[in-house]
Amino acid sequence: MTLTDLETWLRETSPARLEELWAETDRVRAQNVGDEIHLRGLLEISNFCVRSCGYCGLRRERKITRYRMSWPEVLECARQAVEYGYGTVVLQAGEDYGLRREPLAEVIQRLKAETPLAVTLSLGERPEEDLLAWREAGADRYLLRFETSDRKLYERIHPLRAGQERSDRLALLRRLREMGYEIGGGVMIGLPGQTYASLANDLALFGELDLDMIGVGPWIAHPETPLGAGKAQAGQPALPAGEQAPNTEDMTYRVVALARIVCPQANLPTTTALATLNKATGRELGLARGANVVMPNLTPVKYRALYEIYPEKDCVNETAEACRLCLSGRIHEMGRTVGKGPGNRHR
Ligand code: 5AD
Ligand code: FES
């Protein structure tokens, strides 16, 4: 698909044409990754963060209760993933240097030695030595959304403090691939200042990077962040010109559907942010429109509410067990099956 085609689909208003898009993406999904839905147990292991992302509720300026799970807790929750039949555990956190290289490498080693789990990391822009050590310890995959392909918009929503350097997430993703990780990228949809053309570019970039995993979801305004409060950040470059893309459920389905068509073999989750906009059927519609992965939350309930990236996050009060039962029910009702094994990228 060309950039023009992508943008045309993002702007399509005819319900009949959109039905064609949903049918096409579902066909491409079935043909390339089949009917299995892979479950990745998500462990939010720390909400400390050194960054000040303008959209994120974990940004370092927020005075919230911070937690870091202990390593025995992490191992215990990962064992629960095995018990639940999940093939992957995702260790996610803010960019937290309290999660030190060596102890985490040891935990990864133990997970790989003692369980059949694939291990996915989502820990921000860590230095090369950390990423290499964790890969050597056995980590399989790394998630790092690039958030937007629009350089100016990216810089506007990622302010730097003194001493912090501007990183290049695209270069980092390519580096991660060289290290042997499966790589995951993605964007938020409807960021203030994000145009239709820019979203079309994001989609084209998924294809260029040949991403193994793609995570997309609507931007959800967090009132205690600069973006969510509608405050322009001082000293930031002007917004790009063009029509604002909406942060709606409908726009999210379009991006999910097009991402599947651009990267037919990628693993594509239906995200919690989407489920947050439509708690009743958002997940199912994502899965019917290109997605083949769900990431049930495994984080102990006492920590869940503290991992408040955005407000009203789905499943904040459900236990890991409740999410497991809820999801397997939903999947079977859709006539799909729960994937077995690690669910690596299809080739
Ligand atoms: N709304 C939606 N998604 C968000 N993320 C962070 N803050 C928000 C928000 N307010 C997403 C980012 C990040 C991922 C972990 O969560 O894309 O990469
Ligand atoms: Fe958590 Fe349905 S997935 S309650």
Atom of ligand 2 nearest to the CA of 275: 3
- Which atom of ligand 1 is least distant from the CA of 215? 17
For the ranges 250-259, 309-318, 330-339, the lowest mean pLDDT is seen at 309-318
Structural domains in the chain plus CATH codes: 3-227+242-338 (3.20.20.70)
Q: Which residues contact 83 (CB under 8 A, 6 or more apart)?
A: none
What's residue 246's pLDDT? 96
Percent of the residues in the chain that have a pLDDT greater than 90, as a whole number? 90
Average pLDDT over residues 17-31: 98
191 CA distance to ligand 1 middle (Å):
10
Q: In this structure, which residue's CA is closest to atom 1 in ligand 2?
A: 323
- Reported as a pLDDT band with limits 50, 70 and 90, residue 235 is low
Angle between helices 101-114 and 71-83 (to 10 degrees): 30
H-helix segments, the chain:
3-11, 15-33, 71-83, 101-114, 128-137, 151-157, 169-178, 196-209, 249-262, 272-277, 282-288, 301-304, 320-333
What local confidence, expressed as pLDDT, does residue 221 receive? 95
pLDDT band at 237 (very low <50, low <70, confident <90, very high): low
Average pLDDT on 181-189 reads 98
Q: How many CB atoms lie within 10 A of CB 21?
A: 18
> Can you tell me the distance from the alpha carbon of 155 to that of 306, in angstroms, rounded to the nearest whole number?
27
Residue 234 has pLDDT above 60, yes or no: no
Of 251, 157, 156, nearest in space to 203 by CA: 251
pLDDT confidence band for 232 (50 / 70 / 90): low
Q: Whose CA is nearest to atom 3 of ligand 2?
A: 323
What pLDDT is stored for residue 236 in this prediction?
59
pLDDT digits (tens, 9 = 90+) for 266-315: 999 999 999 999 999 999 999 999 999 999 999 999 999 999 999 988 89
Residue 146 has pLDDT above 70, yes or no: yes
Mean pLDDT for all residues in the chain: 95
Question: Once rounded to an integer, what is the mean pLDDT over residues 124-145?
Answer: 98
> What residue ranges line ligand 2, CB within 6 angstroms?
296, 315, 318, 322-323, 326-327
How far, in Å, from the CA of 312 to the mean position of ligand 2? Answer: 14
Q: Does the structure show a pLDDT above 70 at 126? A: yes
CA of 297 to the centre of ligand 2 (A): 8
Contact 267, 345 (CB under 8 A): yes
- pLDDT of 89 reads 98
Q: For the chain, what percent of residues have pLDDT higher than 70?
A: 97
